[in-house]
Structure 1
């Protein structure tokens, strides 16, 4: 069994097999690691721009998610279902990927090859590039988006695909706001896909593409050796021909390709570990909710950690630190009494004493935030340790001195109190004016009544005026 992982990036028209480089078709004909039943996985990623500044230091598949390279979650799941050969279609930092995959081969007992694209081929083109290998036999193959994290139910997906016998099966997941995605509609009472509705403006459904597929080799007849989108150039025609089915994904699902979603996905992954009663989760009086702490990390006294926190190898957390919904990468340091919420701290980075990070702040590799600095939604480029003061100035739009914060809070409180005083005066004035208005209304009514009475009297009697007196008949 084998697999193909598309990593994306630079344009280098060769294929390497962990140290060897040769034309793609030559590798396909000479490799001795191809079995007769090859599921394929293709994990598409590009330059990783959405996950910067972390991807300035390493390719996105090598960024740690829950203390494990993102790509290892997929490779581990593949190895469990018997995949032995994995082809990585790479054009971004290929040397880094090659070096990292040496250990992966040994760890999971797989053979990893690299297909370096002459140009980015989209989400379908790489299948045509790998056609010589895929058509070695008629067995179906997996296709997987590398940004996706879930429980990877490959065995169930394979069984379902074989049961209907058509060209392809894709997994779906439900979302609360389908207007941001392409919605999948099936024919009534079946699993056969009828059509796709891209970013609907009105309700049509809430099932979207989960980025996990399995195909028969017949799909290769639909794909040319050029840049193509499998979602736009292939799937609609498969659906038209009745060759595409869908199965709902059970359990959690997350696209972790950008910082906000990376943090949300971390929480979902940790919830899944808790549901399976994983012994990996940390325990203790200082732990709140689901927390994953590497065994080599050091935690100080009086800390409160969680929920949804992962702490990487060699990380150090000082005394009295508060961590919530955040990720600390390898050898990150958070000093005493710092507060980190909804943020990612990159490799070898430091957060100073009494500092605060919040609102999806991301520190790249080797960044040092000074003491008593508040970083709110900042994104800091790697290697700012030599210029700590400039790091503070570069974040001037989102950071303030903690003493200045205290002064601003006091000033805001004073202004709030003054506003309350003015509001009370206005309320009293309104009450007084209301009372005056009521009195005026009463007096007006009395005047009106008196005027009416005077008219009645005038109609019943004649009035004459004498020089000496008024005489009424």
Structure 2
């Protein structure tokens, strides 16, 4: 008997409605995902859509909010490597409700899907994450990152002697990286309003149907929250090209 290969998701939702108040003045006239990574000539969402397409995604639904028309105009004029549909919340639905509202526009509701926050820049093999999701029989899987602590830390021994100073070490804790794999059935589990991380995710965790996928060692991941993050992303991009 031949077993059909697992159909990796080919559709995704990008949550792109953030105001990005900590990125001002860059976000005075554009939504956060439209902020350009210095030196690339491309906004954050452009990098995301290119990455999703390279991982086999053919259709994306972009959920817009703050200054939605700016994002929609850019999408309409850009040469994109996949099909893009936009939706705009007419009233605040919360993170979970907004995700459910956007998912309703996915072209294949009976198939699994990816989702990503619109303010991250990352590169890792999404199909490996999808395989991880399947192996664990999860309804939802979230990518887990280990960001660097923004301060230098001091290492001591048990007697309080200072042993070393370490600049910006990796955090000992994993965090939600803002990239997800969802089963087709997950959409119905989302609240119409409210935050799925306070309702749906805890319930799935109790039922052992929520999985966490640690990003592979060496994978690039950065949340673009502040002007410093923009500068660091540009610096890291330059390092990879040199």
Q: Same fold (TM over 0.5)?
A: yes
Greater than 4 Å deviation, 4+ residue runs = none
One of 214, 217, 227 as aligned partner of 1:248: 214
- Aligned length in residues: 211
| Kept in 1: contact 2:17–2:66 (CA 8 A) | no
Deviations, residues 225-279 of structure 1 (Å, cap 9, x unaligned): 22x22322222111111001111113232111211222223333333x24xxxxx
Aligned to 1:63: 35
Question: Could you tell me whether the CA contact under 8 Å between 1:150 and 1:269 is conserved in 2?
Answer: no
Conserved 8 A contact 2:97-2:190: yes
Check conservation: 1:173, 1:249, Cα contact below 8 A: yes
- Which residue, out of 109, 112, 118, partners 1:140? 112
* CA distance 1:135–1:86, shift in 2 (3 Å): closer
Q: Describe the SS at the equivalent of 1:127.
A: helix
Question: Which whole-Å CA distance do the structure 2 matches of 1:152 and 1:43 have between them?
Answer: 19
1:16-415 to 2 correspondences below 5 Å? 38-65=10-37, 66-67=39-40, 68-104=42-78, 106-108=79-81, 110-134=82-106, 136-177=108-149, 206-226=173-193, 228-250=194-216, 251-271=219-239, 273-274=240-241, 281=242
For 1:101 and 1:62, the matched residues in 2 are separated by 10
> Relative contact order (alpha carbons < 8 A, sep ≥ 6): 1 or 2 greater?
2
Q: Is the 8 A contact 1:144 1:212 kept in 2?
A: yes
1:38 to partner: Cα distance: 4.1
Once residues 53 and 154 of structure 1 are traced to their aligned partners in structure 2, the CA distance between those partners, rounded to angstroms, is: 33
- SS in structure 1 of the partner of residue 228 of structure 2: helix
Give the unaligned 5+ runs of structure 2.
1-7, 151-170
Give 3-state SS (helix, strand or coil) of 2:197's partner: helix
Describe the SS at the equivalent of 1:118. Answer: coil
Secondary structure of the corresponding residue to residue 41 of structure 1: strand
C-alpha distance in structure 2 between counterparts of 1:133 and 1:45, whole Å: 16
1:115 shift after superposition: 0.9
Counterpart contact for 1:142–1:213, Cα < 8 Å? yes
RMSD value over aligned CA atoms? 2.5
Give ranges in structure 1 of 5+ residues lacking alignment.
Answer: 1-35, 179-203, 275-280, 282-473
Partners of 1:76 and 1:135 in 2: how far apart? Answer: 19
TM-score, scaled to structure 1: 0.41
**Equivalent-residue separation in structure 1 for 2:231 and 2:174 (angstroms):** 23
C-alpha change, 1:92 and 1:45, in structure 2 (3 Å) is closer
**TM-score, normalization by structure 2:** 0.77
Change (3 A) 1:162 1:127: same
Measure the CA separation in 2 of the matches of 1:134 and 1:107.
17
Partners of 1:172 and 1:247 within 8 A in 2: yes
